[in-house]
Structure 1
Amino acid sequence: MSNQKVLEIAHQMGKVFNDLDEKVAHDLVAPDFVDYEAPPGTPGGPDGYLGTARWMNSVFTEASWDHIDSFADGDKAVVRVRFTGIHTGNFLGFEGSGNKVDVEHIHIYRVGDDGLVHEHWACRQDLFLLAQIGAVELKLPPTGTQA
C-alpha cells in the first residue's frame, strides 16, 4: 500500500473523534484493533474506538481535533493535531471545570495490507491539559533562570 493511501486512511480516522462517524469506524477499524492509549478496560475493535471518542466528546464540549501536520512511511502514519474543547464532564476523576483546553497530540496508526487500522499509539500533552482544567498546578522557573 502506498504512503499516500496509508495517510488518507489515517486522516479518515479523525472523523471518528471529530464527527463520531460510526461508518468510518466500522469501515476502517479492524476487529483486532488495539488502542494503546485508551483507558484501561476499553475494548478493542471499532466499538472500543468509538466508545473512547464518545467519552472524550462527552467530557469536553466543542471538542475538536484539528490537523496540523502528518506523514506516512510504510504501514504507519503519523498525524499531529491540536485538541481543543471545554472541560464540562468528569475527566479521570476531575469534575468539569468549564475551562478551555488547547493541547497538541501526535497519533500513530498502523494500517494493514487489508486497508484497516490495526494499532494506534499517541503522545499527548496530558500534563498541560490537567493544568488547564485546574487538576494540577505547574510551577515554572522565573524567566531568565536555569532549571
Structure 2
Amino acid sequence: MSSEQNKQIVRRFVAAGINGVDLATFDELVAEDVDFDAPPGLPRSREGWKQNRLLLQSGFPDAYWAEESVIGEGDTVVWRGVMTGTHTGDFFGIPATGRQIAVTATSMLRVQDGKIVWQRMNSDDLGMMTQLGVVTLPM
C-alpha cells in the first residue's frame, strides 16, 4: 500500500474507531496481534486497545481527537492531534472533576496489508493531570 493509503487508514481509524468509539472499526483496521503501546494492566493487543478506548470513554464521554498533522513514509504513519473532553467519570482511579481538558498527543503507527500492526504514543499526561487538578506544578 502507498503512504497515502496508509495515512487514510489511520485517519479512518481515528475518525470511526477512536472518535466514534466504533469497536467494529478496530476489528477491521487493527491486526489482532497489534503491538499496541498499552497502559499497565492491559494486553498489548487489539482487545487491549479496545479496552483502553472504553476506559477513556468512561472518564471522558465527549472525548474528541482533532487532527493537527499526519505524515506518512512507507508503512509508517505519524499522527499528531489534540484530545479535548470533559472529565465526568472515573479515569484510572481519578474521580470525576467536571473539568475540561485539552491534551496533545503524537502517535506513530505501522500499517501492513491494510491493518495497523504497531503503535506507540506520546501524550502530555502531566498536562492532563495538571488540568484535572491532580498535580500542581511549582511556580
TM range (shorter): over 0.9
Q: What CA distance in whole angstroms lies between the structure 2 residues aligned with 1:30 and 1:83?
A: 24
TM-score with structure 1 length normalisation? 0.88
Q: What CA distance in whole angstroms lies between the structure 1 residues aligned with 2:10 and 2:119?
A: 10
Number of equivalent positions: 138
Could you tell me which amino acid in structure 2 is paired with residue 132 of structure 1? Q
TM-score with structure 2 length normalisation? 0.92
State the secondary structure of the residue aligned to 2:8: helix
Report the identity percentage: 30
Q: What CA distance in whole angstroms lies between the structure 1 residues aligned with 2:29 and 2:44?
A: 13
Q: What CA distance in whole angstroms lies between the structure 1 residues aligned with 2:74 and 2:107?
A: 15
Per the alignment, residue 20 of structure 2 pairs with 19
Per the alignment, residue 33 of structure 1 pairs with 34
Could you tell me which amino acid in structure 2 is paired with residue 74 of structure 1? G
Mark the structure with the bigger radius of gyration.
Answer: 1
Q: What CA distance in whole angstroms lies between the structure 2 residues aligned with 1:18 and 1:72?
A: 21
Q: What CA distance in whole angstroms lies between the structure 2 residues aligned with 1:48 and 1:72?
A: 25
Per the alignment, residue 138 of structure 2 pairs with 139
5+ residue gaps in structure 1? Answer: 141-147
Following TM superposition, the consecutive aligned residue runs of length 4 or more in structure 1 with deviations greater than 3 angstroms are none
Per the alignment, residue 126 of structure 2 pairs with 127
Tell me by how many angstroms 1:61 deviates: 2.5
RMSD value, Cα: 1.3
